[in-house]
A and B are shown apart, each in its own frame.
Chain A
Amino acid sequence: MAVLRINGKEKVFDGSLPATLSELLITLKVDAATVVAEVDGEIIEREKFDSFYLKEEQSIELVRFVPGG
């Protein structure tokens, strides 16, 4: 099964995983320009989203800025 753990929740993909981080964001309809990504605890620079290939069961954190004091 094609599974990733995204923001603490399991996400199952029909068929195969999105190949790269960029493709994952497109699938999730999240604008890459506004997001920071961490894969298995390691921060992935935005310029590397295109070339970062995903593997089964990886744990991905996607965060962004929100209003706050």
Chain B
Amino acid sequence: MDKLIIAGKEFTSRLLIGTGKFASNKLMAKAIEASGTEIVTVALRRVDIENENDDMLSVIDRNKYLLLANTSGARDADEAVRLAKLSRAATGINWLKLEVTPDPYYLLPDPVETLKAAEILVKAGFIVLPYINADPVLAKKLEDVGTATVMPLASPIGSNQGITTRAAIEIIIEQSNVPVIVDAGLGLPSHVAQAMEMGADAVLVNTAIATAADPVAMAKAFKFAAEAGRIARLSGPAKAGDKASASSPLTGFLRGSEND
């Protein structure tokens, strides 16, 4: 399959995996492996100094997977920039999934603060992958300030509703000069295949895998879906039509006689 290139770096897999909500770190590691992903997202939070803390990074092979820290929890640009700098200090890498979600019910991203933070972070040397609503104008503005991708949402985070923003995502894909990664709300492998068939460059999935009854098998299903959708896109999908178009020849059937 053709390579995905983000900020000059090549990836074979077009499926990014979020690490939240897995029942255990061990299960998470197995699902990551099964998904074939090369990019995994993580969040930054305060250490609980009263209790013991699990080190999730101990199960992620940093030579194999690019760690993409997110700024989840940030409610405005200032908080996002602060989280970004802490993340960079922690990992030594400057890749960042920028998300600014002040609304706790739908976790919809704030476009104004996201654009503001993106501008600051790009100038500070970060490779910024911004999580946004499916807004073509915002996507263009982010590209203009130098983000490495845009990540429009399919539907609200963790909702598993699939692609409810189809028309807007199609415009973003058509207009974008940076990779478009469809993120959030992709609940089934078929949703992922759909996004890839539409021409998305990649997808990010978390909840649908982590909360499946068998996350490892589901990760594999998503891997195949991303691959199938990409191959389909590159293969030039056939046109849809209103009427039937016979797949079998309509001539030479065993009815009547050619000598009649």
Contacts and interface: CB of A to CB of B under 8 A. Distances in A.
| A pairs with B | yes
Given A65-B43, A65-B90, A6 B49 contact: yes
Interface string A11-45: 10000000000000000111100111010000101
B192 to A, nearest CB: 15
Interface stretch (B16-24, B119-127, B218-226): B16-24
B28 A64 contact: no
Nearest to A67: B19
B18 A63 contact: no
Contacts of B149: none
Contact of B56 (A8, A43, A65, A69): A65
Interface residues of B, number: 36
A69 B53 contact: no
Given A31-B55, A36-B86, A43-B86, A68 B72 contact: yes
Nearest to B73: A68
B89 A30 contact: no
A interface residue count range (under 10 / 10 to 19 / 20 to 34 / 35 or more): 20 to 34
A64 B28 CA distance: 18
A35 B46 CA distance: 9
A46 B20 CA distance: 26
A57 interface: no
B108 to A, nearest CB: 15
B45 A62 contact: no
Nearest to A27: B49
A24 to B, nearest CB: 10
Contacts of A11: 49
Contact of B22 (A35, A45, A67): A67
B57 interface: yes
Contacts of A8: 46
Contacts of A63: 44-47, 86, 90
Nearest to B60: A65
B157 interface: yes
A7 interface: yes
B194 interface: no
A68 B70 contact: yes
B233 interface: no
A43 B22 CA distance: 30
**Residue from B46, B67, B184 whose CB has the most chain A CB atoms within 10 Å:** B46
Given A67-B19, A68-B19, A68-B70, A30 B49 contact: yes
Contacts of B53: 30, 34, 64
A35 B133 CA distance: 32
B52 interface: yes
A66 interface: yes
Given A7-B49, A43-B89, A67 B55 contact: no
Nearest to B42: A65
A30 B158 CA distance: 31
A64 B89 contact: no
A67 B21 contact: yes
8 contacts: A6-B49, A36-B86, A43-B89, A64-B44, A64-B53, A65-B57, A67-B20, A67-B25
